[in-house]
Amino acid sequence: MRAVVQRVSRASVRVGDEELAAMERGLLALVGVGSDDGPDDARELARKLVHLRVFPDDEGRMNRSLLEVGGTLGVVSQFTLYGDVRKGRRPYFGGAAAPERAAPLIEAVVEAARAEGAPVVTGRFRANMEVDLVNDGPVTLLLDTRGGF
């Protein structure tokens, strides 16, 4: 699984006129599922997200986790993280999991993060979403459970 993770001071997700989720301080994770990913990847990604030490301590060093600061995790599915643009100009999405395989794995990330104690908000799988966020720092990280980057 892959994720683009941003430390945010606030974020929200909308589909049309409906606000699906809103959060204050925390991490917003855009999550893609690869065709070879499974439940272990979902659990690993969730653990990494809630325990990443990217929030400042009393000296201003990135030394605290989402759980330590009482932040919220936002999880938004994003198959385009598996877009391959090494050839040509149109992304090839052959490495992304099919929707019927990806949806339960996105939900597994959400459930595993909640089991770790993190409050979680989500987008809507397969919807055309508008994601609004204020990146705090800015802090943006790339995660890949298969070590791709």
Mean pLDDT of 45-72: 98
In a domain, 53, yes or no: yes
Domain encompassing residue 108: 2-144
Q: Quick one: pLDDT at residue 112?
A: 98
- Positive or negative, the Cα torsion across 131, 134, 138, 143? negative
Q: Quick one: pLDDT at residue 57?
A: 98
In a domain, 86, yes or no: yes
Tokens of 35: 């065709």
- Positive or negative, the Cα torsion across 61, 131, 120, 98? negative
Catalytic residue among 78, 122, 140, 149: 78
In a domain, 133, yes or no: yes
Q: Quick one: pLDDT at residue 45?
A: 98
Catalytic residue among 6, 72, 79, 145: 79
In a domain, 149, yes or no: no
Q: Quick one: pLDDT at residue 149?
A: 76
Percent pLDDT > 90 in the chain is: 99
pLDDT digits (tens, 9 = 90+) for 5-24: 999 999 999 999 999 999 99
Percent pLDDT > 70 in the chain is: 100
Is the pLDDT confidence value at 110 over 80? yes
Active site residue 78: yes
Active site residue 140: no
Nearest one of 22, 76, 70 to 50, comparing CA atoms? 70
Active site residue 79: yes
If 0-12 CB within 10 Å is exposed, 13-18 middle and 19+ buried, where does residue 2 land?
buried
Domains in the chain: how many in total?
Answer: 1
In a domain, 42, yes or no: yes
Tokens of 74: 């936002």
CA 56/CA 135 separation, integer angstroms: 14
Nearest one of 63, 66, 47 to 6, comparing CA atoms? 66
Is the pLDDT confidence value at 30 over 80? yes
Tell me the average pLDDT of the chain.
Answer: 97
Q: Quick one: pLDDT at residue 17?
A: 97
Residue 141 pLDDT class (50, 70, 90 cuts): very high
CA 50/CA 35 separation, integer angstroms: 24
Tokens of 89: 């100009």
Q: Which helix (H) or strand (E) holds 115?
A: helix 99-115
Tokens of 64: 């605290």
Whichever domain contains 50, its CATH number is 3.50.80.10
Mean pLDDT of 96-112: 98
In a domain, 65, yes or no: yes
